[in-house]
Copies of this chain bind each other. A is one copy, B any other.
Amino acid sequence: MSAVRETFSGVLVPVLTPFTADLDPDAARFKRICRWLLDEGAGGLAVFGTTSEGNSLTAEERNRLIDELIEAGIPAHRLMPGTGACALPDAVAMTRHAVAAGAGGVLVLPPFYYKNQADEGFFAYFSEIIERVGDPRLKLYLYHFPQMSAAPVSPALVERLIKAYPATIAGLKDSSGDWEGTKRLIAAFPDLAIFPSSEVRLMEGLGLGAAGCISATANIQPSPIARLIASHGSAEAEDWHRRISTVRGIIEAYPFITALKAIVARQTGDDAWLQMRPPLTPLDGARRDELFAALDASDVPLAVNF
């Protein structure tokens, strides 16, 4: 499956979704940040992930944004949109649209309303998506984020899916934060592209065979993470590791998505980036000042400019 692994590697970004004051997706700003992230060295754009407020977007909104990105010249094969949904037909429709548009892959969350469901039910969900889309170009990445989705992708489920759909199941994003579990996945599924959700484990992860990372904080430090990956194994990588870990360490004390939008707004001088779609809310002024002060006090410069 080396062809699959070549499709996506390095630092993938769950791109922040900008909204207008009317709470509609802001396609113009979205295209700008996507273009900038690729220019900075992102290996792919995992649009409509958790950090993207992806589950706050309708299927139609996601499909339309993909079309707009491609029309604006973003290479379709660099896109790995989130196409999971609670309602199977929505997941099928979004996956079909992404594949038809030429997306390099899709990142699929299991349905997440009903809790404590059996692997059997999740297998049926993924299987129906794959069978109904019925397109050999489909490369499906499983999205494991038990703390948020409450719908884990178990190793047994991964194994069963690979067995049934070896040419389709291409990888897995592991947002569990359980590094021992991630290492077991990398060891158990050497042909899958495994992406941990934090850049902080990259030094060790790349050595073990991780494909890269899909990280929220890659929205504000794509180039430093790309450089760590490019210099992996050399002394330079250590310095990039220290820098990206410092930034992530500061941001981890805040609600991630709203903190990242605050940083982008400040760095670009564009307060439109502060807009969240409910139920998410902007960081209050005092917390925002605290976050900015912590970043300013560190010796790591940020360079978000688009």
Contact = CB atoms under 8 A, between A and B. Distances in A.
Interface of A: 23, 50, 55-59, 61, 86-90, 110-115, 117-118, 120-122, 124-125, 128, 147-151, 276-281
Given A55-B87, A56-B87, 7 more contacts: A55-B114, A57-B87, A110-B279, A112-B112, A121-B281, A124-B279, A128-B278
- Count this chain's copies in the assembly: 2
6 contacts: A58-B87, A61-B87, A88-B277, A113-B149, A128-B278, A150-B150
A125 B56 CA distance: 11
B124 A88 contact: no
Q: Which of A50, A59, A89, A149 counts the most chain B CB atoms within 10 A? A: A89
Q: Which 10 A-B pairs have the closest CB atoms?
A: A121-B279, A55-B113, A124-B278, A125-B278, A117-B279, A58-B87, A121-B281, A55-B86, A111-B279, A120-B281
Contact of A86 (B56, B124, B281): B56
Contact of A115 (B87, B89, B124, B148): B148
A114 B109 CA distance: 13
Given A115-B148, A148-B113, A150-B150, A281 B124 contact: yes
B88 A23 contact: yes
Contacts of A89: 58, 61
Contacts of A23: 88, 128
B61 A280 contact: no
B280 A117 contact: yes
A63 to B, nearest CB: 13
A59 to B, nearest CB: 8
Contacts of A151: 279
A88 B88 CA distance: 19
A280 B121 contact: yes
A95 B114 CA distance: 22
Contacts of A50: 113
Nearest to A53: B114
A57 B278 CA distance: 21
Contacts of A124: 278-279, 281
A286 to B, nearest CB: 15
Given A114-B279, A148-B113, A58 B90 contact: yes
A19 B69 CA distance: 37
A121 B57 CA distance: 16
